[in-house]
Amino acid sequence: MKRVIQHIKHLVNTRTNSIVVRGSALSQLPIIENAFIVVENGIIQAYGTMHELTVDHMSGAEVIDAAGSSVLPCWCDSHTHLVFAASREDEFVHKINGLTYAEIAAKGGGILNSARKIAQSTEDELYLQAMTRLNELMKLGTGAIEIKSGYGLNTDNELKMLRVIKRIKETAPIPVKASFLGAHTYPLEFRENHEGYIDQIINEMLPIIADEQLADYIDVFCEEGFFSVAETQRICEAGIAYGLKPKIHANQLNASGGVELGVKLGAISVDHLETMNDSAISALSQSVTIGTLLPTAAFFLRMPYQPARTLINANAALALASDFNPGSSPSGNMNFVVALSCIQMKMLPEEAINAATINGAFAMELANEVGSITIGKRANLIFTHPIPSLAYMPYAFGSNLIQKVMINGQFI
């Protein structure tokens, strides 16, 4: 099936080759005005200005008129906890009523609440729930996604989550990457016995995960009160020995040294970064590790946002992701992530779009498949309603500006 889409108002993020976009380059978003694109067998075959459209391009193709739509590569959401068993709006209301984190935890809330619900759910139930969420996200323009375990917190249930993610990977029409986050928090029985749980992660879970090829990455919640820098290093190094690259939760609540460790270990990305000091900023900026900002988590938790401008000025490579999870970011809407980045972190629309597309693809090692309008990449494309300019997307943040989404060359 060959399709030519013509009269595209803006064809966004056209790149002949893919490189991580960092620092001042983030503000350079290549756009072709009044453009066409040729899609064949789910792959981008050609694109250019309408003047460059030839008989050859049109031959044998179904011709679609974009009628003033702008076309972007789909969002690449490189950090989610998409597989979970139950929403947690009761905790949300407790917080509105002024209960503290400790009081909510005492009522059985938090990550351990999600872990209990995972333990009570079957793989089928988790799979169907997650696929429903994924289908909603694809309609919102997400065309590649990373999914973490981390609500299992024991061998059986971590493996259960990872098998669900593997099934999503095998059946979803978009690329999916899996991260093993057994080190999300300490289960109650290991609160005073960190060594016992780390031993379970390293010696029980990892060998099976490697054997069944259940994960691409190893993730650790590196934070005071959770996993220390030394513990994070041991767990990541054990994962690396099994071929899993690190992608870690760092510097959300404290400048704990998580970013510096991630850089030292050659992590694909360090994610969160609400609390950055000079040492973390300079380590990240001088590394190949991508800094992934999760502004909707800061928004939902009413916490300070990530210092995006400081990081861009320091020449860091930034990605944007949703952190979709039931506790701190119960939305996977990347349109809102992009808008919030512009509104609250003062990223330029061009910077936010680059961070949510090409750099998100790099943060999942998928840049050869998605993240830009490039010949040979998947035709995973967002078609907007007619908009006056690209800046209108984050500006009109509450409107659904997506007219339709193409995944592998097919409208969904």
Which chain residues interact with Zn ion by CB under 5 A? Answer: 323
- Cβ nearer to Zn ion, comparing 70 with 269: 269
- Cβ nearer to Zn ion, comparing 260 with 271: 271
Nearest to 148 by CA among 293, 325, 274, 318: 325
- Cβ nearer to Zn ion, comparing 158 with 323: 323
- Cβ nearer to Zn ion, comparing 53 with 130: 130
Question: What are the φ/ψ torsions at residue 319 (nearest 5 degrees)?
Answer: -120, 160
Name the DSSP letter for residue 110: S
Measured from the CB of residue 325, what is the shortest distance to Zn ion in angstroms? 6
Measured from the CB of residue 174, what is the shortest distance to Zn ion in angstroms? 20
Local structure of 29: helix, strand or coil = coil
**Which residues, 6 or more positions from 170, have their beta carbon under 8 angstroms from its beta carbon?**
none
Angular region, 381: left φ>0, alpha ψ -120 to 50, beta rest: beta
* Integer Cα distance of 290 and 217 in angstroms: 14
Nearest to 78 by CA among 261, 217, 283, 214: 217
- Cβ nearer to Zn ion, comparing 9 with 133: 133
- Cβ nearer to Zn ion, comparing 223 with 323: 323
Measured from the CB of residue 81, what is the shortest distance to Zn ion in angstroms? 6
DSSP secondary structure string for all residues of 342-357: HHHH---HHHHHHHHT
Nearest to 139 by CA among 179, 176, 173: 173
Measured from the CB of residue 140, what is the shortest distance to Zn ion in angstroms? 19
- Cβ nearer to Zn ion, comparing 245 with 385: 245
- Cβ nearer to Zn ion, comparing 84 with 197: 84
Nearest 10 degrees: Cα torsion 320, 229, 176, 163: -150
What is the number of other CB atoms lying within 10 angstroms of the CB of residue 387? 19
- Cβ nearer to Zn ion, comparing 127 with 221: 221
Measured from the CB of residue 361, what is the shortest distance to Zn ion in angstroms? 19
Report the greatest alpha carbon distance in the chain: 71
Give the DSSP H/E element, type plus range, for residue 117: helix 111-119
Measured from the CB of residue 323, what is the shortest distance to Zn ion in angstroms? 5
Measured from the CB of residue 79, what is the shortest distance to Zn ion in angstroms? 6
- Cβ nearer to Zn ion, comparing 13 with 329: 329
* Integer Cα distance of 356 and 185 in angstroms: 28
Measured from the CB of residue 80, what is the shortest distance to Zn ion in angstroms? 8
Measured from the CB of residue 369, what is the shortest distance to Zn ion in angstroms? 23
Position closest to Zn ion via CB: 323
Q: What is the CA radius of gyration of the chain?
A: 21
Measured from the CB of residue 221, what is the shortest distance to Zn ion in angstroms? 8
- Cβ nearer to Zn ion, comparing 270 with 348: 270
Nearest to 183 by CA among 134, 157, 214, 219: 219
* Integer Cα distance of 75 and 93 in angstroms: 31
* Integer Cα distance of 133 and 142 in angstroms: 11
Measured from the CB of residue 106, what is the shortest distance to Zn ion in angstroms? 23
Which amino acid appears at position 354 of this protein?
N
Burial of 169 (0-12, 13-18, 19+ CB in 10 A): middle
Local structure of 285: helix, strand or coil = helix
Which amino acid appears at position 367 of this protein?
A
